[in-house]
Amino acid sequence: MSRRKINTALISVFYKDGLEPIVRELHGQGVQILSTGGTQSFIEGLGIPVTAVEALTSYPSILDGRVKTLHPKVFGGILARREEDHLAQLEQYELPPIDLVIVDLYPFEETVASTDDEDAIIEKIDIGGIALIRAAAKNFHDVAIVPSRNEYALLLELLQKKNGATDLEDRRELARRAFLVSSHYDTAIFQYFHREQQEPVFKHSILDRQSLRYGENPHQQGVFFGRLDELFDAIGGKELSYNNLVDVDAAVGIMNEFKDGEPAVAILKHTNACGVAVRPTLLDAWKAALAGDPVSAFGGILIANSPIDLATAAEIDQIFYEVLIAPGFDEAALELLAKKKKRILLRIKHWNIAPQSFKSLLNGVIQQDADLATETEGDLTVVTEKAPSKAEVADLLFANKCVKHLKSNTIVLAKGQQLLGMGCGQTSRVDALEQAVAKAKRFGFDLQGAVMASDAFFPFPDCVEIADQAGITAVIQPGGSIRDQDSIDYCNEQGLSMVTTGVRHFRH
């Protein structure tokens, strides 16, 4: 018979929120309640009879509470199958069968987040609770397990709807949730002990699962594993989609390069920046970024390194965008932007970038250190007879930050801290450069005196030749080709300056 009446319940929880209606329902249905410590006191405070586990085991809570439920009279009653042989043993050893176990584990993750006191953290590693969860879940054919507060509502519904009984499918679902809780809990503990090791580990488990409307396309399912609330306050708009999340990740990555400088704005489309600018005011930065490619900006992802003021918000509000990210929004700006109900507004809490990145492929996952290298003026080696001017150095570093976040092969053209044209995702660097030049000219930019950045070295001098003909006067690239000198020689002949960084920024 798959339906089991609950006659005896063991309750041992850390947080008591939401427990009262369950306890009252169990009492009303004549269920004997066993409990320990603070949970026992809570139930007694409700005026409901409860049997202390110590009375069952004849052992008090010992070792500062580390041992309370670890006893055969507890686990025997949970693990016994409701069949003749096991029931006979329960009777022989005077072990009461336990039909329901309610556990809420010690808050290990919350403790790790709130203190560096290792003794306090270790004491929040639950032993008895996790053992109760696993035991009850293993015996789901006969026992119902409630492994966290998240299942309180489900249990109360079952108790009321089925008059204090559970069916096999109910208990199987609760067991599934129980092993999900236990695996997440163990992973969190492992991560704490693993924190100083070099080997990577995924931060989030299946518990941090958020279903998305769909994946890249409507016929693909999508799920996000993570905690967006750790990074953003969502203050307006619809839920983020799969594609939104991919683009937001790219946006945070590029703006991380500019987070501590003058006001900056980036506009992204399909993970690639189509507009980037740095200016003395955010409004000017927005206008310059938008000018980089006002066509591609339609439906894009917008990000700023400074709070959005009303003047900037009024300009942004004139175009259609998917997501706007900023460290803050002035009250008047937020009131204006929030009128567009489907536009997503995110307040970023911090600019921390994960130290590793992961990608699934074939029948596994590849992992690498994130590309956190950002070159400064001290990292530049002048390889031509002519050195770049101070203004050109600033533009070269700006362009190099941009090129790092575009799909390879890629070229960036910039002047005056503004992205003028970019070519990305091309099968040759010449194609990328020609695309960048064409885009810049399409939107009316004069490339005379602009600079060029490349994500990788030039195997031939063709790119510097094309750049020179377009008006480029300074180049930044990693260097490292056996034919570097060919490009350097051309620059010397034509009066261009070139610097190398020694750092390649491929992005596949």
Grouping H, G, I as helix, E, B as strand and the rest as coil, residue 274 is strand
Determine whether 204 is an active site residue: no
Is residue 146 packed enough to be buried (19+ CB in 10 Å), middle (13-18) or exposed (0-12)?
buried
Q: Which residues of 328-349 are buried (b: 16+ CB within 10 A; e: fewer)?
A: ebeeebbebbeeeeebbbbbbe
The span from the CA of 442 to the CA of 365, in Å, is 41
Say how far apart CA 33 and CA 135 lie, in whole Å.
18
Q: Are 244 and 223 in contact (CB under 8 A)?
A: no
Q: Active-site residue among 16, 86, 124, 138?
A: 138
Q: SS3 letters for 343-404?
A: CEEEEECCCCCCCEEEEEECCEEEEEECCCCCCCHHHCEECCCCCCCHHHHHHHHHHHHHHC
Q: In whole angstroms, what is the distance from residue 266 CA to residue 248 CA? A: 11
Q: Cα separations (Å) of 104 from 39, 129, 133, 146, 216?
A: 10, 7, 9, 8, 37
Is the distance from CB of 409 to CB of 426 less than 8 angstroms?
yes
Structure tokens at 165: 């009984």
Q: Which element (helix H / strand E) includes 432?
A: helix 429-442
Cis amide prior to 492 (ω within 30 degrees): no
* C-alpha separations of 93 from 78, 245, 343, 351 in Å: 14, 58, 65, 60
Inter-axis angle of helices 168-194 and 128-138, nearest 10: 140
Task: Name the nearest CA neighbour of 202 among 186, 214, 191, 215.
Answer: 191
Count of C-beta atoms within a 10 Å radius of residue 297: 21
Q: How far apart are CA 407 and CA 507, in angstroms?
A: 5
Active site residue 238: no
Residue 251 token pair: 């946006």
Label residues 408-428 b or e (16+ Cβ within 10 Å = b): bbbbbbbbebbbbbbbbbbee
Residue from 16, 270, 340, 441 carrying the catalytic annotation: 270
DSSP H helical ranges for 50-196: 53-57, 72-79, 84-92, 108-114, 118-123, 128-138, 152-161, 168-194
Residues recognised as catalytic: 138, 270
